[in-house]
Amino acid sequence: MTLFAIPTPGILSLILMTALGYAVATVGMKITATGQIWLGVGLCALGFFAAFLAEIVLLRRFDLALVYVVIIAAETALVLGYAFWIGEGFGLRQTFGATLVLLGLLVVTH
């Protein structure tokens, strides 16, 4: 079964919840790296748990390879947006890499 055969809001919500969970965990790692250990660990645990639950539901309905690519693309967009927001911005190389990830999503899902 392909991921976009039945594009329902529920599927899109699960993809976003999974990607957001992983992105929150990444933010937690960044916060931990700045010295705020307990806040960072808490965000990591919360993010990974949310991603874990949402991804299990997705994997009951779709192939792992396709789910993985879509989640990675969504997570990439979220994390790069966060990096820009905290002032770590993108260089030309990072922008090119992010574009390749998102273009890869289009190739794999169509």
Between residues 93 and 69, the one the model is more confident about: 93
The answer to whether residue 84 is domain-embedded is yes
Which H, E and C letters describe the chain, residue by residue? CCCCCCCCHHHHHHHHHHHHHHHHHHHHHHHHHCCCHHHHHHHHHHHHHHHHHHHHHHHCCCCHHHHHHHHHHHHHHHHHHHHHHCCCCCCHHHHHHHHHHHHHHHHHHC
Could you tell me if residue 1 is inside a domain?
no
Whether 47 is covered by a domain: the verdict is: yes
Whole-number pLDDT of residue 17: 92
Question: 72-107 pLDDT, tens per residue?
Answer: 888 888 888 888 888 887 788 878 887 887 787 778
Q: What is the pLDDT of residue 1?
A: 47
> Is-contact 101 69, C-beta < 8 A?
no
* Its pTM surpasses 0.85: no
Residue 44 included in any domain = yes
Domain count across the chain: 1
Q: How confident is the model at residue 33 (pLDDT cuts 50, 70, 90)?
A: very high
Assigned domain for 57 exists? yes
Q: Which domain holds residue 83?
A: 9-109
60 part of a folded domain:
yes
The number of C-alpha atoms within 13 Å of 25 and in the hemisphere containing its C-beta is 17
Count, residues in the chain: 110
Give every CB contact of residue 37 below 8 A, 6+ residues apart in sequence: none
Residue 2 lies in a domain: no
Give yes or no for residue 5 having a pLDDT over 80.
no
Is 3 domain-assigned? no
